[in-house]
Amino acid sequence: MKANDTVLGGLVLMAALFLLVTSFDYAPLPGQAYGAGTMPRLIGGGGLLLGLFLLIGGLRRRTGPASVEASPEDNAWMRDRRMIAVLAVLASVIFFMLASPLIGFIPTVLIIMIALMLLGGAHPINALGVSLITALVVYYGFSRLLLVPLPRGPIESLLW
Amino acid sequence: MLAQALQIVLQPDVLLTVFLAGCFGMFVGAIPGLTATMATALLVPITFFMDPIPAIASIVAATGMAIFAGDIAGTLMRMPGTPASAAYVEDAHRMSQAGKANVALGACLFFSAIGGILGTLVLSLVAPQLAELALKFSSFEYFWLVLLGLSCAVFVSSGAPALGLISLFIGLSASLVGQENPTGASRYTYGSVELLAGIQFIPAMIGLFAVSEILRSYTKRSTEARIPPVKGPIFAPQLTNLLRYPKQVLRGSSVGTLIGALPGAGADIAAWISFAISKKFSREQKKFGTGHVEGLVEAGASNNAAVSGAWIPALVFGIPGDTITAIVIGVMFIKGLNPGPMVFIQQPEMIYAIFMIFVLANLFMLPIGWVAIHVAGKLLGAPQRILMPVILVFCAVGAFAINNSMAGVIIMLAFGVIGFLMEENGIPLAPAILGLVLGPMLEKYFITSMIKADGDFLAFFSRPISAGLGIATILLCLIPLVGWLRRRGLGQRKSA
């Protein structure tokens, strides 16, 4: 997802304006001109200059002869299966957060790993085997040995 | 004190940790796309449950090995396993095509270990001296030091300074979140209890360096590689290389240590610069790029020396020299070993124990590396489509384990997406990480100094060391500006 300087500059500019505006919500130290708002103001100010620099540079190049825009090849992956895979990785982390407190750690990560491996074109038996071993080893290692309270469900209660 | 330090190091659990973490680092570094920083980020959740010295030992061992292991994939497949191997991948790969993979990999391994040990020697000589000097530092000096570190990260890193500045802006903005500020106001937390302590650093790191890399791996078409086994002696040819290129080894190690010590510039930049120096001063310049071992010797020593060098500012000032030491500083704070000059006075045996672990890890590298070279075929054949989902689960568990809450996983995901988009646009990650770590320090030293000086900015130049650091920082920021103006001037003259 390659963006050009104009877009990057615009994003930086918006973030910088946000920092500048919100910096006034934070009162200074009593009797001083400095406080919690100082740093947001300085960083916002720097961001403002940077954003303008990128934006102007980007707009100039667009009208000029030497236009450097994102080439179609940079974003080729967004138009085929690979885009689905990238979205699936993101979705699986969200699934982990939502599902693991309900059904437990082991089934959640089993579903995630098997789905992602199959999507990547792995052999189903390999996917199942590696996922099962990983899920059990990670759960045992972190939950039993390192005492991390990983989400428990019916399966975990049955096993340990 | 040395005996005490030796006693700390020569414990079975420390030795075992160094060995296991070394194997882990070797594995992670060998796989293209997985970096030494990622190995560290994945290790951190486990180090939480260790004593301070084994925890730090595991990171030292894993990173050193990962930097070397990056050479294996570079040599055999022309795919650098870590960015630090990219500088000399052409020469190394051509040597392997000419049937000299054993010589190339042996050189990388042997001179990595030498570079690492020489870098450690410099570290152990320089750090205590610098710490003595640092005791005299006040908030003014620290302010400039932090700013110098951030400027180095932007202007020394690869790529255009504007992109480095975007990265720094992202990191500094993220560092604003939380109560860690002069008035203790809940800044940008919007009612979230989890955000009061600020954006948790470790989940952010796991996101930036591991999750983003997983996402990237799915944007590439999968390739199946066939790797021929490495035949022939590994170490024997290195004796000839050592006798032939002693100057190069020393030069590579010193340049590497120096660049590593600069905040923000790590092993990858050290390797590029050392390779360039090696070529410039070589008597056989024409052979570079055609499978010549000289550059490998110098740059291979340099990138491992940089790993040690990066610990100089980290231990002495608490200011990270690269992304790896940025994580290390976080770990040290959690372990109660607050980096800074005081640790040299209060716990010198700990510091010397860390130095010894460096030497130990570099010695362990030789046998582990020897095995890694011989099983390289199997190591590199590990299919990414199986590996990446497993790593993703480790990332999620690691981010969860930091505070035993899903908030860490949310931060990991957010920074994973940010890191992925940054890399897609050629924005370097290091300035963002340094901004996130150093942001609160910059604020603390700035506000404290301003209060001390009663708002007079000239006070930042009133002490000699502070003035020197200030001028150095300003000059560093001006260099790219001058270059830009000159380019503009030339362009206008051409068009006139």
pLDDT at B494: 53
Helix intervals (H) in B31-98: 36-47, 52-77, 89-97
Question: B218 pLDDT exceeds 80?
Answer: yes
**In this model, does residue A130 exceed pLDDT 90?**
yes
Residue B469 lies in a domain: no
Q: Alpha carbon of B434 to those of B152, B169, B171: distances in Å?
A: 10, 11, 7
Q: Which amino acid is at B332?
A: M
Taking the CA of residue B327 and the nearest CA in chain A, the distance in Å comes to: 21
Q: Residues B361, B364, B370, B372: is their CA dihedral positive or negative?
A: negative
Q: Which of A28, A122, A148 sits opposite B404 (nearest CB)?
A: A148
Pick the residue with more confidence: A91 or B86? A91
Beta strands in B331-385 (DSSP E): none
CB atoms within 10 A of CB A61: 16
Question: Which pair of structure tokens corresponds to residue B291?
Answer: 């499978």
The C-alpha torsion from B308 through B121 and B466 to B162, rounded to 10°, is: -30
How far apart CA B67 and CA B112 sit, in angstroms, is 8
Q: Which residues of A are less than 8 Å from B184 in CB distance?
A: 36
B81 occurs within a structural domain: yes
What does the pLDDT read at residue A77?
A: 75
CA-based nearest residue in chain B for residue A32? B451
B81, B32 Cβ separation under 8 angstroms: yes
Q: What pLDDT, on the 0 to 100 scale, is given for residue A67?
A: 41
- Higher pLDDT pick, A18 / A58: A18
C-alpha to C-alpha distance for B78 and B239, rounded to whole angstroms: 25
**What are the chain A neighbours of B224 within 8 Å (beta carbons)?**
none
Whether B485 is in a domain gets the answer: no
Judged by CB atoms closer than 8 Å, whether chains meet at B176 and A40 is answered as: yes
CB nearest B176 (choices: A39, A74, A121): A39
DSSP code at position B382: S
pLDDT tens sequence across B425-456: 888 888 898 888 889 889 999 998 988 888 88
C-alpha to C-alpha distance for A6 and B134, rounded to whole angstroms: 44
Write down the mean pLDDT value for chain B: 86
DSSP H or E segment with residue B149? helix B139-155
Using an 8 Å Cβ cutoff, are B470 and B144 in contact? yes
Number of folded domains that form chain B: 1
To which residue do tokens 């294996």 refer? Answer: B72
Angstrom distance (rounded) from CA A99 to CA A97: 6
B205 closest CA partner among B322, B55, B91: B322
Mean pLDDT, chain A, as a whole number?
86
- Which of B185, B211, B386 is closest, CB to CB, to A26? B185
Would you say residue B445 lies in a domain?
yes
Does residue B151 belong to any structural domain of this protein?
Answer: yes
**CB distance A26–B187 less than 8 Å?**
yes
At B137, is the secondary structure helix, strand, or coil? coil
- Answer whether B393 sits within 8 Å of A86, measured CB to CB: no
Give the pLDDT of residue B106.
Answer: 92
Residue B294 belongs to domain spanning: 2-460
Position B494 in a domain: no
Which of A82, A113, A131 is the closest to B218 by Cβ?
A82
Q: What is the pLDDT of residue B269?
A: 85
| Record: contact B389-A16, CB cut-off 8 A | no
Pick among A6, A53, A93, A152 to test the B interface (most B CBs inside 10 A): A93
> Across the interface, which of B393, B409, B446 has its CB nearest the CB of A138?
B393
CB contact under 8 Å between B185 and A89, yes or no, is no
* Residue A71 pLDDT exceeds 80: no
Smallest Cβ distance to B183: which of A15, A35, A94?
Answer: A35
pLDDT of residue A65: 46
Residue B90 Cα, gap to closest chain A Cα (Å): 24
Contact in structure between B295 and B288 (CB atoms under 8 Å)? yes
Task: Find the helix or strand (DSSP H, E) in which B255 lies.
Answer: helix B246-261
Residue B219: inside a domain: yes
Report the percentage of chain B scoring pLDDT > 70: 96
Among B150-154, B165-169, B363-367, which is the least confidently predicted range? B150-154
pTM summary value: 0.84
Residues of A in contact with B431 (CB under 8 A): none
Is there a contact between B421 and A1 if contact means CB atoms under 8 Å apart? Answer: yes
Token pair belonging to B147: 């700013």
Q: Does A34 sit within 8 Å of B185, measured CB to CB?
A: no
How far A63 CA lies from chain B's nearest CA (Å)?
A: 17
pLDDT band with cut points at 50, 70 and 90 for residue A92: very high
Cβ pair B10, B33 in contact under 8 A: no
In this structure, what token pair is assigned to residue B264? Answer: 């923000």
pLDDT at A69 over 60: no
What is the rounded CA–CA span in Å between residue A115 and residue A134? 14
Report which of residues B465 and A43 the model is more confident about. A43
pLDDT tens, position by position, B381-433: 777 788 889 989 989 998 898 788 899 999 999 999 999 999 888 888 888 98
In this prediction, residue B19 has a pLDDT band, given cuts at 50, 70 and 90, of very high
pLDDT digits (tens, 9 = 90+) for B97-156: 888 889 999 999 999 999 999 999 999 998 988 888 888 888 999 999 889 888 887 876
Instruction: Please answer whether residues B57 and B8 qualify as being in contact, where contact means their C-beta atoms are separated by less than 8 angstroms.
Output: no
Q: How far apart are CA B420 and CA B215, in angstroms?
A: 7
Give me the interface pTM, i.e. the ipTM: 0.90
pLDDT score recorded for residue B496: 46
B33 pLDDT above the threshold of 90: no
* Per-residue pLDDT reduced to its tens digit, B316-361: 988 887 888 888 888 888 888 888 898 888 888 888 999 999 999 9
Contact A35 B447 (CB under 8 A): yes
Dihedral sign for Cα atoms in the order B255, B257, B260, B261: negative
| Sole residue written with tokens 């932007």 | B154
pLDDT at A66: 43
10 Å CB burial of residue B423 (0-12, 13-18, 19+) is middle
pLDDT at B158 over 70: no
* Domain annotation covers residue B488: no
Q: With an 8 Å Cβ cutoff, are A34 and B182 in contact?
A: yes
Give the residue with greater pLDDT, A80 vs B69: B69
CA-based nearest residue to B307, from B477, B115, B454:
B115
Q: What is the Cα B140 distance to its own chain's centre? A: 27
Beta-carbon separation of A40 and B187 below 8 A: yes
If we measure between CA atoms, which residue out of B303, B381, B283, B322 comes closest to residue B92?
A: B303
H-only helix segments in B282-347: 294-309, 311-317, 323-334, 341-346
DSSP character for B211?
A: I
